[in-house]
Amino acid sequence: MVKQARAARTREALIVAAAEVFADNGYALASLPAVSKRAGVSTGALHFHFASKEALAREVEGAAADVVGKMAAGCRGDADTLLQSLVDATCRLLAAVAGDPVVRAGFKLSHDPSLKGGGEAGGLVRWWCEWVRDLIVQAGEEGELAGGVSPEDAAAAVVAATVGFETLSGWDLEWVSLERTARFWTFLLPLLAASPQQVRVEPGGTGGTGATGGAGGPEAGDEAAG
């Protein structure tokens, strides 16, 4: 049991370290020695858990998708309306991009052409596009959109803004600040919502503090590769 717990801590440390390296350098320039050094583990321990850089990148993508999926589901469950859940989800998502290296790396890897299938499959970015579109279509069916608003156009605007903010945050984190997100929704809601006064914009979303529950964990010591 002690060995299993140590192995789990090492794996989590490697995922977080890899996310930081991928987020900082991109997939092509990231190296496994840099990941093991940042995680504080031996290269043998790294190869014990992950056979290749691509396998490690896919694990980071999966961890990010898990965090964002749970966050989005929580927003749907907590909010009174569909548009409120959309506002809350974007607030929490961009806060996670700023504060959680796993989420930040997951988005970056999903449109990194140097990762096989990254630029083609879309990964987390594609999932987010589909989630936003489905939610706004449902909001239109429920009468939450203003008259004449096209759900497709509204979804395109929200996706373009959020993914654009995430991309721009690579050189300036102000693009994913709570203030920037609030200003975006203050501008958009009167155009989008049938009753904009009923949709609130609050830091971290209306359902909680916006903690993402990422893969961050305690530091891990070296683990034998056997």
Residue 204: predicted pLDDT? 59
Which residues lie across from 145 on neighbouring strands? 193
Q: Find all residues with CB under 8 Å of 35, minimum gap 6, and list them.
A: 14, 17, 18, 21, 46, 56
Mean pLDDT of 157-167: 94
pLDDT band at residue 202 under the 50/70/90 scheme: confident
Asked whether the beta carbons of 18 and 25 are under 8 A apart, the reply is no
Q: Would you say the pTM of this structure is higher than 0.75?
A: yes
pLDDT band at residue 217 under the 50/70/90 scheme: very low
Q: What sign does the dihedral 72-77-82-86 (CA atoms) show? A: negative
How many Å apart are CA 194 and CA 109, to the nearest integer? 36
pLDDT band at residue 153 under the 50/70/90 scheme: very high
171 exposure class (CB count in 10 Å sphere: 0-12, 13-18, 19+): exposed
Asked whether the beta carbons of 166 and 107 are under 8 A apart, the reply is yes
Asked whether the beta carbons of 210 and 70 are under 8 A apart, the reply is no
- Quote the DSSP letter at residue 100: -
At 29-72, the pLDDT tens digits run: 999 999 999 999 998 999 999 999 999 999 999 999 999 999 99
Residue 139 host element (H or E)? helix 123-141
How many Å apart are CA 126 and CA 120, to the nearest integer? 10
